[in-house]
Amino acid sequence: MKKIVVGIGAVIVVVGVVLGSLYTQTWNPVWNPFRPAPEEVISEMIEKMQTLDSVHSDYLISAQIKERGDSLVVKAGSDIDQKDKENLKEHSNIDITLSFKGSDYPISLETINVGEDSYLKVKTIPDLSALLSLFPESQQEAALFSSVFGSIKDEIQGKWIKVDKESIKELYEEMGVSYSEQELGSLSGSQQKELQDKLTQLLENKKLYYVDKELPDEKIGNVKVYHYRLVIDKEGLKSLIPEFLRTVMNYSSSSLMEEGISSEEAKKAVEEMDFPLLIDKFFEKVGDIRYELWIGQKDKYLYRAESNKEVDLKKLKEALLEYTQEIASRKGEEVGEEDIQAMEKFLQGTALISVKIDLSNFNKVENIQTPNEFLTIKEVMQNVVRKIFFDMMMQQGFQGEIPGVNMPIQ
């Protein structure tokens, strides 16, 4: 009897330890009954990410045509500091590589944004004239572009350029063009905040995904993370896009009026485009869009998001053709033969699309500073115009001095 009691006691202890480990998630298998539901974790993650003061993000976006090897790859690292909500700071390094017909065309950029002021540095620029030369029908344009591009490259490469409203306004005035912020589609700070809040609320009120599968837990560095596979909800997306566009247009009425377009006309055009129909055709032909999330088990921060999709471009062409034919038929029109031929020409093969985002340094980003030396956008444009004018005069054998350029030509 004593052995039985001891045995029962041991079982109770073991069960208690196991249940305690499961409850505290010290041991946290996927089947843990105390494990939070994926939707609960994702909802908490969204709330936690909105409260961040700062974060570092690494992006890798690629698109490749499988059969030809042509590709576009974007790599970016970005620090965001939003401790001061009225003076957001961002510092990014961006590398873009276009691979086409066996050659690579890389461009490297660095950007800094502090409040309403933006700074851009083009660190490396490819020879785009070489890319244009691959198209026989554009030889004349390529020759002209090569000269202009060389002048632009000399003036901007490796230099910080400040892009701000005041400098743009001065540039407009020197060209004799009237300036207004609405022409650039810009909004006041309060309008931007109001629009951002409305779009955020719109996104929060839409069901844009469903959890497809809860995958085994992983570690990113030393952090234990939940791992989920999600699918974009087609119906939620169909509901979101028209409302999203209408909301944005409500804040763009001044810009539309400048172009002679009333807000009613713009809204009617959006309705006629019937984005829900386009989404239906896309999902019908191309299939679902899946993505994965890695969320910290303790802090509930998002550590990684990733999506990979293989797209049969022939199926995409079918979706676009059926969509355009339906829209045209509603107007009593037909899709032009040129449009069909363009789809046939460019939508061939298989596209491999990949997006990966890694996030780190939560609430640890500091010291985003503006550059001490820079050119304004006005100064850059003036220098480029002078350089192009100088080159043209040299080619024509001009002798003398160009007004505004302290450089005699002999």
Give the DSSP letter of residue 378.
H
Q: What is the pLDDT along the chain (410 residues), one digit of tens a residue?
A: 544 444 444 444 444 333 344 344 444 454 455 578 999 999 999 999 989 999 999 999 999 998 888 999 999 999 999 998 788 899 999 999 999 888 888 999 999 999 888 999 999 988 766 666 666 555 555 566 666 676 677 778 899 999 887 877 777 777 766 665 544 445 666 677 788 888 888 888 888 999 999 999 999 999 999 999 999 999 999 999 988 888 887 777 655 555 667 767 777 887 888 999 999 999 999 999 999 999 999 999 999 999 999 999 999 999 999 999 999 999 899 888 888 898 888 899 999 999 999 999 999 998 899 999 998 888 888 777 777 666 666 555 555 554 444 444 44
CA dist., res. 318 & res. 31, Å (int): 43
DSSP-based three-state secondary structure for 248? helix
Element at 141 (helix H, strand E): helix 139-156
Q: Which amino acid is at 321?
A: L
Element at 263 (helix H, strand E): helix 263-273
Give yes or no for a contact between 302 and 295, defined as CB atoms under 8 angstroms apart: yes
What is the per-residue pLDDT for 155?
79
What is the per-residue pLDDT for 224?
96
**Pairing of the two strands 160-163 and 375-376:** parallel
CA dist., res. 141 & res. 122, Å (int): 24
Give the DSSP letter of residue 57.
E
Burial class (CB in 10 A: 0-12, 13-18, 19+), 205: exposed
CA dist., res. 93 & res. 247, Å (int): 32
CA dist., res. 293 & res. 316, Å (int): 26
CA dist., res. 134 & res. 138, Å (int): 8
DSSP per-residue string spanning 281-326: HHHHHH---EEEEEEETTT--EEEEEEEEEEEHHHHHHHHHHHHHH
Q: How many CB atoms lie within 10 A of CB 296?
A: 19
CA dist., res. 332 & res. 323, Å (int): 14
Burial class (CB in 10 A: 0-12, 13-18, 19+), 225: buried
CA dist., res. 210 & res. 303, Å (int): 19
CA dist., res. 63 & res. 290, Å (int): 16
Choose among 245, 263, 111, 258: nearest CA to 184.
258
Give yes or no for a contact between 390 and 406, defined as CB atoms under 8 angstroms apart: no
Give yes or no for a contact between 253 and 263, defined as CB atoms under 8 angstroms apart: yes
Choose among 107, 100, 105: nearest CA to 135.
100
Give yes or no for a contact between 230 and 43, defined as CB atoms under 8 angstroms apart: no
Tokens encoding 136 = 């026989």
Q: At what angle do helices 263-273 and 234-250 cross, to 10 degrees?
A: 160
- Residue 231: beta bridge partners? 210, 290
DSSP-based three-state secondary structure for 59? strand
pTM, full prediction: 0.79
CA dist., res. 406 & res. 404, Å (int): 6
Give yes or no for a contact between 127 and 359, defined as CB atoms under 8 angstroms apart: no
Q: Which amino acid is at 360?
A: S
What is the per-residue pLDDT for 89?
93
